[in-house]
Structure 1
């Protein structure tokens, strides 16, 4: 269409239309359009209400990073919001972005080394988001490799005891046997023993080390406390990670079975016959 006359522009424009836009074009009185500027003006006026309204730049001040939101998701949400603004100011966006993100290593890096341009800010945020995602995947791999989540040795946090509250989830008292009247909300189970649950202790330890649950943590000088890792060592008698053989107690079919050897390398799993009969099982 470059360099063509207004007549061709108007006729060519009609070919691209459909639905309401085509109906509008057909309803225009003969001779009412003398130039393409008239035609475009008619369309802009008619469909003005359908044009998305741009938001104000001050909306960014309310775009805080959520407590459990990772940096990659927040960065995506920030970019989407920035594209919808009418008067986006790259220079002002830098301190607002820095103020909105949560107190984590990336925030500390921005405070210590403020980016000079908005492009540099996005580049730095992208690199930190990729590193955060890689670290998360590494933690998942280590959980699978060792069989249970682990807290690095020497990093355990003193806590007032095994009971704690994580949001709406309360860690209940130990459950020695299956009790249908009790319910453990974190794992949605009735038979779970909270005090010996390594997964929840690891999750609590992880939250504490990231700066959460401070009101439930006892620091040095506040009294004797047990961190999650200390509880493991006291009850299990071993350091994590490990490859030692484990002999544990299990609740099988509502019956406590002692002396169960955990050995993932065995090709055969053996149960003594007297254990089999005490469980109330038959050859059927």
Structure 2
């Protein structure tokens, strides 16, 4: 609309048609005639929703992730990695500690302690080897 030189009034009228859920509610609660330009609307929108972006989580949230009783290793890794991706600048040692802490007692955990991986890449390397054996035994 800016490129086509559309007037502020039209942009302000068109703006709410692009909003969904919380943004639409925010817009509906604005005081009528409280905004006079599209730039002002844009600034208020940005200042209200800039805090709405998802913040990175702390590594503390990983400590609560535990492998469930009947959960396959592959599923646990997927769940753990999804949470780990939300962490800002995760330390490899903490990732390894949280991951191993959440594992059920068993052969894979024993093999990790035996091989003493230093990074999550090492853990995943051993996990892939273990899962291949698991898959072969199931087949």
Normalising to structure 2: TM-score of the pair?
Answer: 0.65
- CA apart distance, 1:51: 1.1
- 1:75-154 matches, within 5 Å, as 75-136=77-138, 138=139
Q: Which has the higher helix share?
A: 2
The 1:45/1:118 distance shift into structure 2, 3 A limit, reads: same
Greater relative CO, 1 or 2 (CA 8 Å, sep 6+): 2
Please state how far the C-alpha of 1:135 moved relative to its aligned partner: 1.8
User: Pairwise CA RMSD of aligned residues?
Assistant: 2.8
Give the distance between the partners of 2:127 and 2:46, measured in 1 at CA: 39
More off after superposition, 55-64 vs 126-135: 126-135
Distance 1:67 1:46, change over 3 A: same
Deviation sequence 1:122-173 (CA, Å, 0-9, x none) = 222122223223322x2xxxxxxxxxxxxxxxxxxxxxxxxxxxxxxxxxxx
1:116 aligned counterpart, secondary structure: coil
Q: Distance in 2 between matches of 1:112 and 1:102?
A: 16
- Cα distance, 1:49 vs structure 2: 4.0
Shift of 1:50: 3.0
What is the distance in 1 between the residues matched to 2:131 and 2:55? Answer: 31
Alignment TM-score, normalising by the size of structure 1: 0.34
Which is richer in strand? 1
**Distance in 1 of aligned mates of 2:49 and 2:91:** 28
User: Structure 1 regions of 5+ residues with no counterpart?
Assistant: 1-9, 12-16, 30-38, 139-284
- Counterpart contact for 2:62–2:84, Cα < 8 Å: yes
Return the alpha-carbon distance in structure 2 between the equivalents of residues 74 and 90 of structure 1: 18
Displaced runs of 4+ in structure 1, greater than 6 A?
none
How many residue pairs get aligned? The number is: 110
- 1:24-39 pair list within 5 angstroms: 27-29=38-40
Q: Structure 2 unaligned segments of length 5 or more: list them.
A: 4-14, 28-36
Structure label with greater radius of gyration: 1
In the other structure, the counterpart of 1:4 is none
